[in-house]
Amino acid sequence: MNWKAYGKWLRENFSYNYSKDLLNYSKRFSYVLFSGEASSLHRLSGSVRRMAMASLSNLSKFLGVHGKWKRIVEAYGLKWSSGKAEDFLLSRMANTKDADSILDWVRQVKAKIPQLSLFMNFMLLTGLRLKEAVNSWNLIVDLAEAGRLSEYYDREKEVLEHYKFKKVFIRRSKKVFVSFVPERLIEEISKQGKLTIYQINNWVRRDNKLKSRFGDLREFWATFMTRYLTTAEIDFLQGRVGASIFMRNYFNPALITDLKERVFKGLAELQSRL
């Protein structure tokens, strides 16, 4: 097995950290694909099994034996999810006391880590994943410095056009296409320095009372915006396009003339609650 070539293939298709995890799991569980014996996967925890299956799926594609992997999955009744949808919903409900707890966390981060204040506003108003937000922030800074911000931000529509930078934002498993952002916030960001995920997490971890809740913040944005947007519109703005036949074949955001107006109404209420 040429692990070096496989690692290179993974890096070309996934983020650095995720490709590194896939490579490690592939080495650990490759015997399943080579031997066809997969009973041991049933004894793994849900999260470990999902990662093992993801790594084996990619390894099988790289080796050109994906059909064999699908037969193994069927023969052993392997499931990507360890629970029903309602179980995940109940778990979320149990772990989140109320919506204000998320906003309280944002306020605490802004107060205790002033250098992240503007970035927290950006995350709150876009609902982006942490990596997407950092990439977008840095792209704004770079392009503004080069006098090319118009290549990314449409001032008239007040929208960040992520889709123009496919290698950065259109990844195999996670995507984001556009984000409506007030021009004044973009102007403020363009005057800032660049950030890294390590830097942000390090600042948050320094305060033992602050937990990293960036994932919860994205979830909060999606739930809050149901007051102004349809589920399909929220899925589109958060990069979930392949979720249904409707999203794949019929949904066209270009036909929704008041989308920006309704998004900005939601963002205005979010800002007022901070």
Angle at 192 between CA 189 and CA 196, to 5 degrees: 95
Query: Which pLDDT score is estimated for 84?
Result: 52
Tokens of 99: 């919506």
The model's pTM is 0.71
Packing angle of the helix pair 130-145, 197-206 (nearest 10 deg): 120
Q: Residue 170 in 3-state DSSP?
A: strand
Tokens of 182: 């007030």
Rounded average pLDDT over 5-28: 90
* Whether the Cβ atoms of residue 210 and residue 204 lie closer than 8 Å to each other: yes
pLDDT tens figures, 216-254? 999 999 999 999 999 888 988 998 765 454 445 544 555
Angle at 185 between CA 182 and CA 191, to 5 degrees: 145
Pairwise CA distance, residues 52 & 79, whole Å: 11
pLDDT band at residue 170 using 50, 70 and 90 as cut-offs = confident
Q: Which residues pair with 262 in a beta bridge?
A: none
Rounded average pLDDT over 139-157: 96
Find, among 37, 36, 41, 12, the residue nearest to 25 by Cα. Answer: 41
